[in-house]
């Protein structure tokens, strides 16, 4: 079968022919219809980290139909998706015509969502859903104040904006592409679009004026430090990414003087209950027409070019890869 495989550490992956998955690799065999290109896939495709076993088929999202199953949770023909759980890192992922995976983290795709839309949601949309659920679980409600979404035009950011706006939050979108993507972000549900430059420099004061009832941050580093320093008393910030960096140059003052919470979102190791809760929420609440508007579909051959564009920050929203 055709597959994109990383063969060697620190080397770009290659589109190649490979054998069908080994039976021992998991209890469910999937005919893969779609995968997607996330920031993490882009890094793996170019050989910039992520992969922890070689050779491995890349693609952290697997979307398709069950072809064989020895799990009592899944039957032949079921529509399923796997997001993370080691796919494309330590186990073979979705950039191949078939994938054999463990049923442990596999979920049924809700019937409202087509296979291609499930891939458009992918890890990025799933992570956005986890983040929005976390804000609500921590008591951030629509009248808690504005919610900031950083990396707004990216995959996690764009889905998060739509989910938050549909729940009634007033969403402020932070982007480096306000002129180019402002209309798009407003159409997704952002009430205001701001320039990300205001968050990207080292914090000048450990406590700044209180602006955000909550935030979903894909950026890390100085951006997250500034967001924490501007979060209102009792607010929650969800950290899910590191587009600016993995460091966090912040003080304890926002925590001990404003009682704020920093919540980490991890899609890779999310337990099955959280996966099912997030997918149910996506089916109920995401505007699927808006999802279509933020999605571009490509073939396996175009995946490398898409990876370069993501790493350069040129991609808007989500990129689906049609596998078969």
**Residues 124, 41: Cα–Cα separation, whole Å:** 11
Of 24, 40, 21, the residue nearest 32 (C-alpha):
21
Stretch that binds ligand NAP, among 62-70, 113-121, 174-182, 294-302 (CB under 6 A): 174-182
Nearest CB to ligand NAP, comparing residues 24 and 202:
202
Residue 310 binds ligand NAP, judged by CB under 6 A: yes
Residue 36 binds ligand NAP, judged by CB under 6 A: no
Of 162, 108, 86, the residue nearest 131 (C-alpha):
162
Binding to ligand NAP by CB under 6 A, coded x per residue (else -) over 227-256, reads -------------xxxxx------------
Structure tokens at 262: 């920093």
Residue 39 C-alpha from the chain's centroid: 8
Residue 176 binds ligand NAP, judged by CB under 6 A: yes
Q: Which of 175, 226, 230, 303 binds ligand NAP (CB under 6 A)?
A: 175
Q: Tell me the closest approach of the beta carbon of residue 74 to ligand NAP, in angstroms.
A: 24
HEC profile of 70-105 = CCCCCCCCCEEEEECCCECCCECCCCECEEEECHHH
Structure tokens at 276: 């099912």
Stretch that binds ligand NAP, among 24-32, 104-112, 205-213, 265-273 (CB under 6 A): 265-273
Of 324, 288, 305, 271, the residue nearest 118 (C-alpha):
288
Residue 309 binds ligand NAP, judged by CB under 6 A: no
Scanning residues 48 to 107, which ones bind ligand NAP (CB under 6 A)? none
Q: Tell me the closest approach of the beta carbon of residue 85 to ligand NAP, in angstroms.
A: 11
Q: Which of 59, 88, 145, 151 binds ligand NAP (CB under 6 A)?
A: 151
Nearest CB to ligand NAP, comparing residues 57 and 123:
123
53, 90 Cβ separation under 8 angstroms: yes
For residue 56, report the phi and psi dihedrals to the nearest 5 degrees.
Answer: -140, 140
Query: SS3 of 161, please?
Result: helix
Nearest CB to ligand NAP, comparing residues 21 and 94:
94
Q: 199-202 long-range contacts, Cβ below 8 Å, gap at least 24?
A: 199/150, 199/174, 199/223, 199/226, 199/227, 200/226, 200/244, 201/226, 202/249
Stretch that binds ligand NAP, among 26-34, 111-119, 153-161, 230-238 (CB under 6 A): 153-161
Residue 224 binds ligand NAP, judged by CB under 6 A: no
Residue 39 binds ligand NAP, judged by CB under 6 A: yes
Helices then strands (H, E): number in the chain?
9, 16
Structure tokens at 91: 């186990």
* Interacting residue ranges for ligand NAP, rule: CB under 6 A: 38-40, 123-124, 127, 151-157, 175-177, 196, 200, 218-219, 223, 240-244, 265-268, 310, 313, 315
């Amino acid at each position: 079968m055709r597959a994109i495989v990383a063969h060697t550490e620190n080397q770009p992956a290659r589109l190649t022919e490979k054998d069908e998955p080994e039976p021992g690799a998991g209890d469910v065999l999937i005919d893969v219809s779609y995968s997607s290109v996330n920031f993490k896939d882009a890094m793996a495709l170019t050989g910039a980290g992520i992969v922890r076993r070689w050779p491995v088929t890349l693609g952290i999202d697997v979307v398709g139909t069950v072809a064989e199953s020895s799990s009592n949770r899944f039957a032949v023909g079921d529509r399923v998706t796997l997001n993370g759980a080691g796919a494309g890192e330590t186990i073979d992922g979705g950039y191949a015509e078939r994938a054999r995976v463990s049923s442990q983290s596999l979920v049924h795709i809700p019937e409202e969502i087509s296979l291609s839309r499930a891939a458009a949601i992918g890890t990025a949309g799933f992570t956005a859903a986890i983040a929005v659920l976390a804000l609500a679980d921590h008591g951030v409600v629509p009248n808690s104040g504005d919610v900031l979404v950083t990396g707004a035009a990216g995959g996690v950011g764009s889905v998060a904006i739509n989910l938050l706006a549909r729940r009634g939050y007033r969403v402020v979108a932070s982007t480096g592409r306000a002129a180019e993507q402002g209309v798009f972000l407003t159409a997704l549900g952002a009430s205001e679009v701001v320039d990300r430059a205001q968050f990207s420099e080292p914090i000048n004061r450990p406590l700044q004026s209180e602006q955000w009832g909550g935030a979903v941050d894909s950026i890390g580093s100085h951006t997250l430090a500034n967001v924490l320093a501007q979060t209102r008393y009792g607010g929650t910030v969800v950290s899910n990414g590191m587009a600016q960096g993995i460091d966090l140059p912040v003080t304890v003052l926002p925590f001990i003087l404003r009682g704020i919470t920093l919540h980490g979102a991890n899609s890779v190791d999310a337990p099955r209950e959280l996966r099912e809760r997030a997918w149910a929420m996506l089916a109920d609440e995401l505007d699927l027409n808006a999802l279509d508007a933020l999605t571009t579909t490509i073939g396996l051959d175009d995946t490398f070019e898409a990876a370069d564009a993501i790493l350069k920050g040129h991609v808007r929203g989500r990129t689906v890869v049609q596998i078969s």
